[in-house]
């Protein structure tokens, strides 16, 4: 029997990626607020929508892990790999993630949440 059930793995990985996304989105929001944009509102609204989606997903993930007595702990980190410990039912599963893969997956998720947030932004009265 595997240490981590297949249905729990996405939740563990969400606890890796979603906090990274929150950090990136917060920094982007600050950059836009301070930047020389003429019309900041649409960009800020899109980032706010993405932040709300990520925060909601992170809350759901945290509750799932808490209900099932699971934890994610970031362990060792070097220039190439970051190790995470997935704790489940008294067992520890040590997993090493390539830093490039972490960055690329975070970028994919950022694009997904920004696109989703952009789709939720109200449309103008322009002809479609």
- How would you write the pLDDT of the chain (128 residues) with one tens digit per residue? 467 888 999 999 999 999 999 999 999 999 999 999 889 999 999 999 999 999 999 999 999 999 999 999 999 999 999 999 999 988 899 999 999 999 999 999 999 999 998 887 555 544 44
Pull the structure tokens for residue 44.
Answer: 């800020």
Contact 36, 75 (CB under 8 A): no
pLDDT of residue 34: 94
User: What is the C-alpha separation between 90 and 24, in angstroms, rounded?
Assistant: 33
pLDDT of residue 1: 47
pTM over 0.85: yes
């Amino acid at each position: 029997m595997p240490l981590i059930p297949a249905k729990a793995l996405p939740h563990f990985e969400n606890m890796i990626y979603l906090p990274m996304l929150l950090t990136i989105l917060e920094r982007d929001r600050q950059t836009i607020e301070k930047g020389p944009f003429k019309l900041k509102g649409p960009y800020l609204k899109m980032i706010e929508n993405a932040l709300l989606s990520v925060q909601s997903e992170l809350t759901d993930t945290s509750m799932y892990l808490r209900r099932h007595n699971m934890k994610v702990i970031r362990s060792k980190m070097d220039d190439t790999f970051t190790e995470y410990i997935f704790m489940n039912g008294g067992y520890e599963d040590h997993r090493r993630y390539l830093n490039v893969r972490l960055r690329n997956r975070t970028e994919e998720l950022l694009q997904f949440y920004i696109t989703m947030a952009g789709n939720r932004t109200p449309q103008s009265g322009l002809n479609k």
